[in-house]
């Protein structure tokens, strides 16, 4: 019995000491929060240190500071409207990434002074963000988000019931008269001659290019970049001839393909002809086609 009777006072004193320590911690936290304008945190700490269980001096200071903090603590009222100006209710509001309201109720909520990012989100995921600056002591500031009109889908294309069926494309055999699918004798000769000549010219272009390259590598002055114009000009002329012949040969081959592959279906035209003009001075080759 003596042990039980003596344990009671010790337990009460321990609880009282723990309560006093918690009051002092809240007292210090309230001052720090208030100094950094974290007024929401300062308010919560002041509520704790204003409790009747706290020491009288602590409770008196906390009660005085509570009035000052509540006077400086801003408050806002969130709202939202659609494109027609109708008020919306099913809107979730987040302040700096933390949900403040699951739906709009028209009630003021306390907020710390300073810059904030307010996000309004509809049930379908459509969201609008506003960046605001809340001033200390500002009360019941109305904040209204404007949701734009949702984009309309273009109407579907309805086929006409009386639209005629698409005409079938005629094949060459159906559209061309008899014998038109075969090249004439003149076209056949011109095509073959042009193709052979073009291949020969391409071969000559390759020969000129290889010769010029071999001569350029054989120059001893090339390694020291000290070659004279008299040494370089003949090689450069061969490269120019190779370029001209390459263009002319390619044109001749293309002409041959046109004559043999496309020309057969034009039966009432003059015989095809090819004329090539070369100019080393201008560095060009001219191609004239006649049908």
**pLDDT, tens digit, 9 for 90 and up, residues 162-211:** 555 554 544 444 444 444 455 567 777 777 877 787 788 778 878 877 88
What is the end-to-end Cα distance of the chain in Å, rounded? 131
Q: What is the pLDDT of residues 113-168, one digit of tens each?
A: 999 999 999 999 999 999 999 999 999 999 999 999 887 766 655 555 555 555 45
Length, in residues, of the chain: 291
Compute the distance between CA of residue 114 and CA of residue 74 in angstroms, rounded to an integer. Answer: 10
pLDDT category of residue 222 using cuts at 50, 70 and 90: low
Q: What is the pTM of this model?
A: 0.47
Compute the distance between CA of residue 23 and CA of residue 55 in angstroms, rounded to an integer. Answer: 8
**Range of lowest pLDDT (72-76, 159-163, 265-269):** 265-269
């Amino acid at each position: 019995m003596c042990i039980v009777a003596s344990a009671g006072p010790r337990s009460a004193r321990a609880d009282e000491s723990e309560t006093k320590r918690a009051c002092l911690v809240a007292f210090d936290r309230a001052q720090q929060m208030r100094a950094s304008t974290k007024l929401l945190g300062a308010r919560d700490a002041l509520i704790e240190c204003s409790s009747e269980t706290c020491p009288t001096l602590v409770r008196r200071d906390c009660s005085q500071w509570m009035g000052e903090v509540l006077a400086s603590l801003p408050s806002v009222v969130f709202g939202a409207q659609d494109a027609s100006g109708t008020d919306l209710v099913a809107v979730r509001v987040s302040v700096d990434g933390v949900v403040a309201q699951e739906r709009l109720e028209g009630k003021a909520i306390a907020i710390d002074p300073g810059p904030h990012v307010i996000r309004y989100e509809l049930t379908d995921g459509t969201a609008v963000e506003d960046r605001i600056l809340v001033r200390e002591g500002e009360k019941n500031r109305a904040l209204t988000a404007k949701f734009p009109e949702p984009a309309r889908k273009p109407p579907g294309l309805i086929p006409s019931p009386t639209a005629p069926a698409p005409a079938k494309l005629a094949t060459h055999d159906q559209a061309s008269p008899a014998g038109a699918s075969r090249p004439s004798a003149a076209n056949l000769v011109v095509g073959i001659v042009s193709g052979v000549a073009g291949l020969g010219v391409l071969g000559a272009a390759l020969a000129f290019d290889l010769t010029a390259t071999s001569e350029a590598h054989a120059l001893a002055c090339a390694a020291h970049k000290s070659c004279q114009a008299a040494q370089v000009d003949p090689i450069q002329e061969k490269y120019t001839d190779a370029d001209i012949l390459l263009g002319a040969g390619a044109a001749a081959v293309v002409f041959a393909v046109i004559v043999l592959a496309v020309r057969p279906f034009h039966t009432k035209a003059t015989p095809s002809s090819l004329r090539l003009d070369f100019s080393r001075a201008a560095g060009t080759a001219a191609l004239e086609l006649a049908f």
